[in-house]
A and B are shown apart, each in its own frame.
Chain A
């Protein structure tokens, strides 16, 4: 059962923009209440999830909708974070403008990388983005006076209004960011651009025969997803408090890809599951390993091993991720007047030749 039919069944409005805005407003209201009720640490974590969701949504657009695999989105997060931090430390720019600049500069970087990427097939693109993930932080290391060096560039959150705790306020900022991005990207995916993305993903030659400008679409997808990652990086750096290259190792790009896939490639709600995994999985594995009490060395690495195993098993058994699994459950729910086996199958995430 794909989102359209679900939306119809819930009697939501037909225009995508209005529908998405309503969903976002509803979610926003729920989350506002949630952040008010949670303690400071949980607020902080919810905020982190929201920041990751922003980056993951971009990746989902690029890989799920447009079929380009990127192993370098951590670098775009770094670009966004450093842009915002540089503006914060050297100018008096308005906060919203700083976030917009982070998005813009990261999108420009995505444009630069996306241009050569149009000619590259899967593994070759993966190789280039992998090297990009390594190269970008090293640039910041090379000029420590500009980029803050070891002590990094500090980021400051605008003062919280009234008696709001700083964690709650930051979480709300990050949640608003996530909702805005999700609405915009959802609209994009429903528009003709979204159809063009999917057409290029499924069959480049057929798409170009149908009049889609393949290279332009691919670059566009790259730039937009890079912009999302940049905004996510900027938002996340507000949680961390400083921007330093140590926050953007290769493993970050890999974790983003893994979270996107486990959440459900190509979906948007799935990115929320992905964000939750990114933020909570280390904790769950740490508490799991202390239950087993294997001794510090093995304990610390147990989290890593579990993460790897989850990836492997998930890809073999449930390649559509959590959201894919939920959709399958929804499609196969018991309902009078309809046999379970006749239920509509979810739209395939990709055609997997």
Chain B
């Protein structure tokens, strides 16, 4: 591979032409179709409403969460099939940000500046949405029902951002109150994710559980979650923790219970709802079965490990098949998201999507025919508490608080309860072991909920 002799060239014209051509190519490549002219309310025409969101569809954060947006789409398809909202059909575009805030920033700008969405509905993630909260508010685009339990979505500085799921601190307080009442005197251990999620759950727990009862506080880092959390579970066992609270994503829940089982350590598990859905966690635990057992043995192994687990729920779990909301969710998914339903059945994730999408539809209906971003936000602030949702408690929206659900019931996974049946197996179901309780993410007490239970409206159940 020797070097050839260099030759001088006198091709001035060619040279300049090629340089100009290259620059022109660069120009041409970077010029994309110009944005469509903005309507008076972006994303709203007389017949359509265009909304969008950024969610993780690929990458390590995708398992489970990639079901939510298609489930939302199913609800919108149902609504569109029944005439839409005030005659407008809902177009939902969701883009994959891979849980990387840099991608979220770019894709959100594409949705707002190029696709002219009316609102960002159901985007997922704390760091991802924190990255675009300022931009969306400055562009006057509502950032609705963010899929994250951070306390940061109710911030007067960002009046167009709204949470939806119970803040993690609420989870912690309700679980903490249950532990204080039912496991008094026992030694408690925590294993929490070392980020805002875990920290907020622990903050809530600490508001209820006396510090002297907590014998060990372990954490794990989700970015470097390489394998079983054996060291953490060994430390909890060594400290003598009889009750272990897990503030973990489903993968980490499994990676905690499995190594604990190896060392014959079976404490009373109390697991945050984020990481406790049996159809999601069960398959991960099924590897505890041995090779020859087949599917039944695997399901049984998972059930064995999950039996007795305490968690919370803010809407009826998928195993509660007699509940009218659960039936409605199942019908919508079966008919309008058949491929999703065939793969995943009804589980915590697609239930979440259906509930969130239905909340948005309700808000649109309350906003009325004269639909603008301001009228939608006003509808949520003024009528948020009267929106009909699958939740056990009404949403808490007002002009001063943008937190969604602030109430849950405590659920116990019991092998005697009716199971949650999905295409992947028959997973352990849960029964309520406490009444529905409400509390704020701040320092107030946990109180029993005394309001009415919501029922799906006739129009939703009659002809889905």
Contact = CB atoms under 8 A, between A and B. Distances in A.
Establish whether A and B are touching in the complex (CB under 8 Å). yes
Interface of A: 1-2, 5-6, 8-11, 27, 30, 34, 38-42, 44-46, 48-49, 134, 137-138, 141-142, 144, 149-152, 154, 167, 236, 239-242, 244-247, 249, 269, 272, 276, 279-280, 282-283, 286, 295-297, 300-301, 304, 326, 330, 333, 335, 338, 342-345, 347-348, 351-352
A276 B30 contact: yes
B131 interface: yes
12 contacts: A1-B9, A5-B7, A9-B12, A39-B113, A239-B106, A242-B127, A246-B100, A282-B103, A296-B57, A296-B70, A330-B18, A348-B3
B66 A296 contact: yes
Contact of A46 (B30, B194, B197): B30
Contact of B106 (A9, A45, A246, A295): A45
Contacts of A49: 30
Contact of A151 (B95, B106, B150): B150
Given A296-B66, A296-B70, A348-B1, A240 B102 contact: yes
Nearest to A12: B15
B22 A326 contact: yes
Given A326-B22, A344-B7, A134 B127 contact: no
Contacts of B321: none
B31 interface: yes
Given A151-B127, A279-B106, 10 more contacts: A10-B16, A30-B27, A39-B34, A138-B221, A144-B196, A241-B132, A246-B99, A300-B66, A304-B58, A335-B14
A48 B106 contact: yes
Contacts of B114: 39, 41
Contact of B30 (A38, A167, A295, A352): A38
Given A10-B15, A333-B14, A34 B134 contact: no
Contacts of A10: 12, 15-16, 19
A42 B3 contact: no
Contacts of B9: 1, 5, 9, 335, 338
A278 B224 CA distance: 25
Interface of B: 1, 3-12, 14-16, 18-19, 22-23, 26-27, 29-32, 34-35, 57-58, 66, 70, 95-96, 99-103, 105-106, 109-110, 113-114, 126-128, 130-132, 134-135, 150, 152, 194-197, 199, 221, 223-224, 339
A245 B127 CA distance: 9
Given A6-B15, A149-B195, A241 B58 contact: no
B58 A300 contact: yes
A279 B102 CA distance: 11
Nearest to A337: B10
Contact of B109 (A44, A283, A326): A44
A335 B11 contact: yes
B15 A152 contact: no
Contacts of B100: 246-247, 249
Nearest to B62: A300
B109 A150 contact: no
Contacts of A154: 134
A295 B96 contact: no
A139 to B, nearest CB: 11
A46 B29 CA distance: 11
B318 to A, nearest CB: 21
B331 to A, nearest CB: 21
B76 to A, nearest CB: 15
Contacts of A296: 57, 66, 70
B118 to A, nearest CB: 17
Given A149-B195, A344-B5, A11 B126 contact: no
B232 to A, nearest CB: 15
Which are the 3 A-B pairs with shortest beta-carbon distances?
A150-B196, A41-B113, A300-B57
Max chain A Cβ within 10 angstroms of own Cβ: one of B5, B18, B102, B199: B102
Max chain A Cβ within 10 angstroms of own Cβ: one of B105, B128, B152, B196: B105
A34 B95 CA distance: 28
Nearest to B16: A10
A166 to B, nearest CB: 9
A156 to B, nearest CB: 9
B10 A242 contact: no
B453 to A, nearest CB: 34
A241 B131 CA distance: 6
A246 B11 contact: no
Contacts of B132: 241
Contact of A34 (B4, B10, B27): B27
Contacts of A149: 195-196, 199
A151 B126 contact: yes
B6 A5 contact: yes
A232 B102 CA distance: 13
A144 B113 CA distance: 32
B158 to A, nearest CB: 12
A41 B11 CA distance: 39
Contact of B1 (A45, A280, A295, A351): A351
A180 B223 CA distance: 35
B30 A34 contact: yes
Contacts of B8: 5, 8-9
Given A5-B8, A150-B196, A240-B102, A246 B34 contact: no
A300 B61 CA distance: 14
B11 to A, nearest CB: 6
Contact of B130 (A48, A152, A347): A152
A48 B34 CA distance: 19
B223 A245 contact: yes
Contacts of B5: 344
